[in-house]
Structure 1
């Protein structure tokens, strides 16, 4: 396998210090809080001031949201009592706190927050979403993970999109990534519009391959020279954004592709695996990092196709020596187009599996080389750390 294209040294800080130091300015009483844009990585090996940077970014944003502003949280699970307490405190000082959680995770840990916020009203509320919020009746789940803030600290329109659920397990055992958009009204308003659809918990019609954008379940918007937001459910498998991205990579013999997921099973994963094999056989450098959820057909397809892969949970069948595992969902691609090397990063909640087709998932596209480098360094850090446990 050819080596990945040599990356230039960029002043975004090497691997964002392997993403152990968050790109978030700490808040103090003496200094105005200013959230910083960019990627954040969280891993269970960090300790002290470097631990749980995604969690700390969320907590800092909540703590610095002033009265009459709005926090919107969408997450698959929420049992981190520190985050719960922060949301309650924000509500009590006059912040509008609006929370959506998948109903099967609306257990005892959420009872107090639900009681404080209530279930109705247009200021603060907590709603348990049955199955998927926008997908077909009785199918899927609310799997999106995002926090938006109309204002926090000195910034407006802050959006944090992530693979991280605010849970004790995520804090202790998982590798996760996030991307924070600051003073970005387009992203904030896109996620606000999506939230307003989700909070009704009503299925949207499937309109596969229609001429009118965003009139069905799949929501896509690209802006500002390569940024983008993509929200599922999919209207049909034929419009799978991951398949489209892979099929449109030019000059595969000069492409570098990294895939990180914690699912990767069933028919959709098989189709994605076949595309990765096609690219590998055409000369691309391809690595896939997954968990025990990857099915035998997908594993076999990748192995026989020459794709390098790592199971961060079972180490090829044997139990890993620790309980940490990759929970990030990323597609990181570098390719050459018209003689220029281009960088694209996609991250969010999509496990690239059948379960995502009918579920509320959220992915964002980021075009900067610096952010691509930081995310690939975190990918490589995760791979090295987890491979050493086998």
Structure 2
């Protein structure tokens, strides 16, 4: 059981409402009023890239939250990639009605998009209409050199902080999906939302304020109530995945039918010694009697060897003649769920949701990891979703295909379905 703790902040926190807009600017920019009665639902949602009505669940959640942010409030977004016209329009409309919209994304991806991409569109639109705003309330989109809070690595955050949307305050959302069309059409992702938790919101705003500076900061871990937030680049911390798995006992579970603790793991990429350590722990739990199930997208051969004989499947549907992770359908979640004997509770429930692949690069990059302790509803949803992906995954460890290398594939294992939905269809659905 994790006791409530105080937010451990290394730097002073700025207030959420960091300023107000001049009256004339509010009137000029408020093109569309937000619904003051709208309520942002907390909890976890998943998308399913093969199912039309479920592909856009996360994007709809984001758009509805952004559409109902009233003038004078703030949106703070960090995402590895922003590449979606319809998501860009939602943030631009928010800015024009008087919301302070500030976005950070990867510099390399911003440059790669070119003149017609979402980055340039947002940069132009968010740069207009700031003259009468105080500096803290101006809108913009920026990039970081590499990581925003460390050396080398990559800017790989995926979170959004909203001071108020409709009738809901202090919205902290994060997950595995970037702000792209591909996140809906190609990938299985998750998105968690916590509302009305000022201490948590302040802690995340502190991380945002550090990220904006684009320089080195220490790793941060803090617990508010029953939510533990960890922000890489990590140093000597316990791996977030092992911070959960090391607390698991395999027997004596009071909330599973079998009495065995259920461990469900969904992490896209496992690599190097870091991925191997987590794999060895998963194998140890499997051999100790836990009910362990794993879905993944990419995994080094030595790690697959560790998991041989376990229930582990690769969710990669190949679109076309060769494997290509930029076209294929694949699992992109980066976390796990435990139901059973964990953290000293026989009826424990834990979910790890994050942006972080289990690799050396993930350890040194900008990443967020969030552990939700004692949330039975979230743990059940996460475990059930992993079960669904496992049932539908076409590949075992034996017919693994390297989706990062189009030159390598296993003959006879190509999957030409589900249909390769074009991005225009996705945009029409969201509209």
TM-superposed CA distance for 1:314, in Å, is: 6.7
2:207 matched to 1:203? Answer: no
* Structure 1 residue 239 displacement after superposition: 2.7
Counterpart Cα distance in 1 of 2:270 and 2:370: 19
Task: Determine the C-alpha separation between the residues in 1 that align with 2:42 and 2:358.
Answer: 26
TM-score scaled by length of structure 2: 0.74
Listed as ranges, the gaps of 5+ residues in structure 2 are: 1-32, 253-259, 396-413, 416-431
- Change over 3 Å in CA distance of 1:202–1:29 after alignment to 2: closer
Q: 2:148 aligns with which of 133, 141, 154?
A: 133
The answer as to 2:352 corresponding to 1:349 is no
Q: 1:13: which partner in 2?
A: none
Decide which of 366, 389, 411 is 1:382's aligned counterpart: 389
Structure 2 residue matching 1:234: 3-state secondary structure? coil
Local SS of the residue matching 2:350: strand
Partner SS for 1:258? strand
The secondary structure found in structure 2 opposite 1:43 is coil
CA distance in 2, matches of 1:339, 1:166: 37
List 4+ stretches of structure 1 deviating above 6 A.
28-31
Give the equivalent residue in structure 1 for 2:266: 260
Contact 2:339 2:380 in 1 (8 A): no
Q: How far did residue 376 of structure 1 move? A: 1.1
- Whether 1:82 aligns to 2:86 is yes
Q: Give the one of 42, 65, 70 matched to 1:66.
A: 70
Report if aligned partners of 1:276, 1:307 keep a CA contact under 8 Å in 2.
no
Provide, for residues 269-307 of structure 1, a one-character-per-residue CA deviation record: whole Å limited to 9, x for no partner. Answer: 01111111122222222111111x21111111111xx32
**Matched position secondary structure for 2:83:** coil
- Aligned equivalents of 1:201 and 1:233: distance in 2? 13
Given that 1:257 and 1:332 are in contact with CA atoms closer than 8 Å, whether structure 2 keeps it comes out as yes
Give the distance between the partners of 2:251 and 2:243, measured in 1 at CA.
14
The residue number in structure 2 matching 1:153 is 166
1-structure distance, mates of 2:185, 2:317:
18
Structure-2 residue corresponding to 1:46: 51
Provide the TM-score with structure 1 as the length reference. 0.81
Name stretches of at least 5 consecutive residues in structure 1 with no aligned partner.
1-27, 205-215
How many aligned positions are there?
Answer: 340
User: Aligned residue for 2:37?
Assistant: 32
Give, in whole Å, the separation in 2 of the partners of 1:241 and 1:170: 24
CA change 1:30–1:230 in 2 (3 A) is closer
Name the CA distance, whole Å, in 2 between partners of 1:307 and 1:188: 39
Query: What aligned pairs does 1:330-369 form with structure 2 within 5 A after superposition?
Result: 330-336=335-341, 340-366=346-372, 367-369=374-376
